Structure 1
Amino acid sequence: MSTDRDLAARHDLARPLARVLAVAVMVLTLAACGLRAETPPPVEPSPDALEQIRARTVADSAALSAAASAAALLPDGAVEPVAPVLADVVGYSDQHADQLGGVYVSGLPTPTDSPTASPPTTGSVAEVLEQLAAATRTALTDADAVPDGSLARLIASVATSRGELTERLAGATGAPVPALAPDEAPAATDPAPTPAGTTATTGVDGLTTGDVGVLALVHDEAGYGFEVIAAKLSGDQRTAARAAAAAHRATSEDWAAAAGIDGSAQDPRRASYALPAGLDDPAASAALARTLETAVADAYANAVAQAEPGSRSSLIAGLRRATADAATWGAAHVPFPGLPERAQQPTG
């Protein structure tokens, strides 16, 4: 038979258990009602080095498009030959921003105290020229430094396009070409041309022997092609073709020596290359010259994607040089030099 003392002891043990059960019931009830402890709101992720470079290139493209659009409304921006260049600045820059992925949108609410973008001011054509040059220098630096090879290739192409636009706008306005490379002085109004195909071949990390062999091969094929073109042309065109042939042959030798394949079984160069028929026609010879230089530009752009960050400057210089040389033979300007998969899109 239970005594009064036993009953009291059982009662004392039951009280803590009852409290535990009450707390558990309350927690379950709150959970069922959808209540939860307060948590901090989500925040924007911190961009890494790759995203910072991508976003900077997009922002520069948007700023160039806005500045050129505003300048095109000014009297000196709406006349030939300035207006077509400004139109290309707008169209190409819009395509650059689009292909780079556009402005990053996290989907998070915008803070009420966030600054709003100011509408672009109507600057002068000269200001657009300086802005183009500055954006070119930034993109050249970023293309060499960005960790991702594919993005480096794309930004190198954007930098090359911006450099071309800078030179075209300077020519249209009669202004000197501003410095385009980070360590480059402003060019004279009539700068002496750099020999076609000339580029440095040192300091490239990340390229395999095969990668370097491709550069040696494409320059050798261009050298052979220009030798044939020189034999078909006359006057200044023959002189230019001879100079191009010699420069391409020399650069091919440099790359082959750098790879250690010169004269070996790994050397991909050949004694001759297949060329199109009809080269007695100057137009056909000029078309071949454009094709050869464009192939060189494509090879350098591909090599940029393979090279290690900090070792791409000579490859980017090769892309820029070949793109400029193709233009001297009549190649159309495109928004993505060296990237044949991104064919030119209408800009209007």
Structure 2
Amino acid sequence: MSADENPAGHRDHARPARVAVRALAAAVTVLTLAACGLRVETPPPVEPSPDAVEQVRARTVADSLALSAAASAAALLPDGAVEPVAPVLADVTGFSDQHADQLGGVYVSGLPAPSGSTTATSAPPTPSVADVLDELAAATRTALTDADAVTDGPLARLVASVATSRGELATRLAQATGAELPSLVPDGTTAPTAPTPTADSTAPEADALSATEVGVLALVHDEAGYGFEVIAAKSSAERRATASATAAAHRARSEDWAAAAGIDGSAQDPRRASYTLPAGLDDPAVATALGRTLETAVADAYANAVAQAGAGNRTALVEGLRRATVDAAVWGATPVPFPGLPERAQQPTG
């Protein structure tokens, strides 16, 4: 056998290569373990802190989901499953679900839940119909406060509509059960009776409505006043009294807003001597439909003004939205989840 064919010699030449491979593998293992150790020591990601706007949104969502759950549970009780309570509870559930959905729902960060043991707790008692009424009133007060204070105008408009809807639901539930309606006025405040945002035609305050924006409110009230005057003139005695009183109230509010804007009787005053109305107002059904349309237009105008006004200047505007929604119901308007927001005119899901 030749030296080239010696197996022992072949193994002698391969040994350094195998040693190098083992050394490289060991180095890779050490580096991998070191990298794993570094990852373990890196602080885990944390939930971002919500700002004031997000806190309002999240709070309104949480209250909506809580109301939905409470109403659903109360509807299974004997006093919640009967007329006229059951339909109202169904609206509380359906409307509140839509409120939460339109507000964006519960924020989910995607981060893993914190580990740790959890303590078992007993199931809370089933909410009663009276509990639902109390929760509605409390959630209404919270939303009214937030609608005035939040700095985001569009969110303020949405929360004001939610507050209006909750107040309407609370009123209906109190009437259905014969219970006393809890206060819907936020603590430490009173419902305004006159316009509070002021505007000057030359130098409007930064957070107040401009003269043009206030002029829209003066115009919509003036048109409603004119419409109800015509309805009164073409109605029976009973309907005439209601329409006349409504017309006078709208004319007065129009004057209030025009004076607040400083445009009363000026070239900037958008109000007109007459407005186009539908034909056939001798028909009570047509007259009633017009009444609903006029009041709904007023509600829409106030909701838009809420978005335009600055934080802390919206109390009178939100109250105007609520009052117009109630007045529209007098003329046959059905409850909707988002009063004053025609683009969100969903109906109950239940």
For Structure 1 versus Structure 2, the TM-score category normalised by the shorter chain is: 0.7 to 0.9
Partner of 2:93: 90
Classify the secondary structure of the residue corresponding to 2:186: coil
- Looking at structure 1, the residues matched to 177 and 244 of structure 2 have their Cα atoms a distance apart, in angstroms, of 32
Corresponding pairs, count? 312
Classify the secondary structure of the residue corresponding to 2:172: helix
**Contact 1:224 / 1:272 at 8 angstroms: preserved in 2?**
yes
Q: Does 1:49 align with 2:43?
A: no
Q: Does 1:174 align with 2:168?
A: no
Partner of 1:59: 62
Q: TM-score, normalised by structure 1?
A: 0.85
Q: 1:291 corresponds to which letter in structure 2?
A: T
- Looking at structure 1, the residues matched to 208 and 117 of structure 2 have their Cα atoms a distance apart, in angstroms, of 43
- Looking at structure 1, the residues matched to 298 and 101 of structure 2 have their Cα atoms a distance apart, in angstroms, of 26
- Looking at structure 1, the residues matched to 70 and 60 of structure 2 have their Cα atoms a distance apart, in angstroms, of 15
Q: What aligned pairs does 1:272-283 form with structure 2 within 5 A after superposition?
A: 272-283=274-285
* Selected match of 2:154 from 150, 166, 176: 150
Partner of 1:132: 136
Where do 5+ consecutive residues of structure 2 fail to align?
Answer: 1-26, 199-206
1:226 shift after superposition: 0.3
1:206 shift after superposition: 2.7
Q: Does 1:202 align with 2:206?
A: no
1:118 shift after superposition: 7.5
State percent identity of aligned pairs. Answer: 77
- Looking at structure 2, the residues matched to 232 and 151 of structure 1 have their Cα atoms a distance apart, in angstroms, of 41
Classify the secondary structure of the residue corresponding to 1:280: coil
1:236 shift after superposition: 2.6
Classify the secondary structure of the residue corresponding to 1:76: coil
Partner of 2:313: 311
- Looking at structure 2, the residues matched to 53 and 119 of structure 1 have their Cα atoms a distance apart, in angstroms, of 28
- Looking at structure 2, the residues matched to 56 and 151 of structure 1 have their Cα atoms a distance apart, in angstroms, of 12
Q: What aligned pairs does 1:12-91 form with structure 2 within 5 A after superposition?
A: 30=31, 36=38, 38-91=41-94
1:322 shift after superposition: 0.2
Partner of 2:9: none
1:39 shift after superposition: 1.6
- Looking at structure 1, the residues matched to 296 and 188 of structure 2 have their Cα atoms a distance apart, in angstroms, of 25
Classify the secondary structure of the residue corresponding to 2:252: helix
Partner of 1:341: 343
Partner of 1:5: none
- Looking at structure 1, the residues matched to 122 and 277 of structure 2 have their Cα atoms a distance apart, in angstroms, of 55
Q: 1:293 corresponds to which letter in structure 2?
A: E
Q: 1:108 corresponds to which letter in structure 2?
A: L
Indicate the RMSD between aligned Cα atoms, in angstroms.
2.4
* Selected match of 2:108 from 71, 88, 105: 105
Structure ID, larger Rg: 2
**Contact 1:67 / 1:121 at 8 angstroms: preserved in 2?**
no
Partner of 1:233: 235
**Contact 2:144 / 2:159 at 8 angstroms: preserved in 1?**
yes
**Contact 2:156 / 2:306 at 8 angstroms: preserved in 1?**
yes
**Contact 1:142 / 1:155 at 8 angstroms: preserved in 2?**
yes
- Looking at structure 1, the residues matched to 31 and 328 of structure 2 have their Cα atoms a distance apart, in angstroms, of 72
Q: TM-score, normalised by structure 2?
A: 0.84
Instruction: Report the CA distance shift for 1:319/1:154 in structure 2 as closer, same or farther (over 3 A).
Output: same
Instruction: Report the CA distance shift for 1:104/1:119 in structure 2 as closer, same or farther (over 3 A).
Output: farther
- Looking at structure 1, the residues matched to 188 and 44 of structure 2 have their Cα atoms a distance apart, in angstroms, of 48
